[in-house]
């Protein structure tokens, strides 16, 4: 196993991609091990293609899981929330956390109930987060979060005020310790079921798609949809 303990928190470009996903005792995939991925680029692609993660922490002796947005820079994942968030306060105090991201690509219909499955890509990240205290890094982290969820908004809308920044907590989680699993393809039916059962089997793909923009009712009548929003909306029949 590669020792990543000395790797920097943020590794950019090809240097980051070249570092493999090296399993630790927590990130070793044991169930469905053949679905485990070893390329760090697959972790980055998954994180960049999803919008929501689930952040888990043990707080006051009980597990807590929260859905939240995130941003990534190289080998660092940024999470944010209110300074009054009990879970972020606990994470800021040195408690270990886990972060999970899942993309569902389809439902797998098999000839037996046992072999029904899903096509997916998932990642679980383990680590002890650090509080982002540096003002410049904090602003950059919030920019990354914003641009990941709503590209183009950082440069086209009002930026955070000092009061808003003071009310926002940001933590950084290293991507050193992570596991990625993927499944794709048809069902893995037993040989005898292929002969004795004629039920339909296959995959029903699932795709996340943007809908039509819904203007705020307080906008002036006829306000145009900005390009940064329109570019994510579905095409019409003419491909426009």
Residue with tokens 């570019």: 231
CB atoms within 10 A of CB 163: 8
Domain regions of the chain by residue span: 13-189
Rounded average pLDDT over 128-154: 97
Q: Report angle CA 55, 56, 59 to the nearest 5 degrees.
A: 130
pLDDT number for residue 33: 62
pLDDT tens-digit series, residues 208-240: 999 999 999 999 999 999 999 999 977 544 444
Q: Which residues 6+ apart lie within 8 Å of 216 measured at CB?
A: none
pLDDT tens-digit series, residues 155-172: 999 999 999 999 999 999
For residues 78 and 132, the answer to whether their CB atoms sit within 8 Å is yes
Q: Can you name the residues that pair with 54 across neighbouring β-strands?
A: 67, 100
Rounded average pLDDT over 41-70: 95
Kind of pairing between the strands at 117-127 and 130-131: unpaired
CATH class of 13-189: mainly beta
Read off the pTM.
0.85
């Amino acid at each position: 196993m590669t020792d990543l303990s000395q790797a920097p928190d943020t590794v950019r470009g090809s240097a980051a991609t070249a570092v493999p996903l090296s399993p630790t005792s927590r990130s070793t995939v044991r169930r469905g091990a053949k679905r485990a991925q070893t390329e760090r680029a697959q972790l980055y692609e998954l994180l960049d293609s999803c919008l929501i993660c689930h952040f888990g922490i043990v707080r006051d002796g009980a597990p807590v899981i929260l859905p939240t947005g995130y941003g990534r820079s190289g080998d660092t994942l940024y999470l944010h929330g209110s300074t009054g968030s009990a879970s972020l306060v606990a994470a800021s105090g040195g408690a270990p956390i886990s972060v999970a991201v899942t993309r569902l690509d389809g439902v797998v219909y098999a000839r037996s109930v046992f072999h029904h499955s899903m096509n997916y890509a998932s990642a679980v990240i383990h680590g002890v987060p650090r509080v982002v205290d540096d003002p410049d890094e904090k602003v950059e982290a919030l920019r990354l979060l914003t641009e990941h969820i709503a590209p183009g908004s950082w440069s086209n809308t009002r930026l955070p005020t000092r009061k808003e920044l003071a009310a926002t907590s940001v933590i950084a989680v290293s991507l050193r310790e992570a596991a990625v699993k993927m499944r794709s393809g048809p069902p893995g039916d037993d040989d005898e079921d292929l002969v004795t059962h004629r039920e339909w089997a296959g995959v029903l793909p699932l795709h996340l798609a943007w809908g039509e923009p819904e203007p705020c009712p307080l906008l002036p009548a006829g306000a145009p949809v900005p390009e940064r929003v329109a570019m994510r909306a579905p095409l019409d029949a003419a491909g426009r």
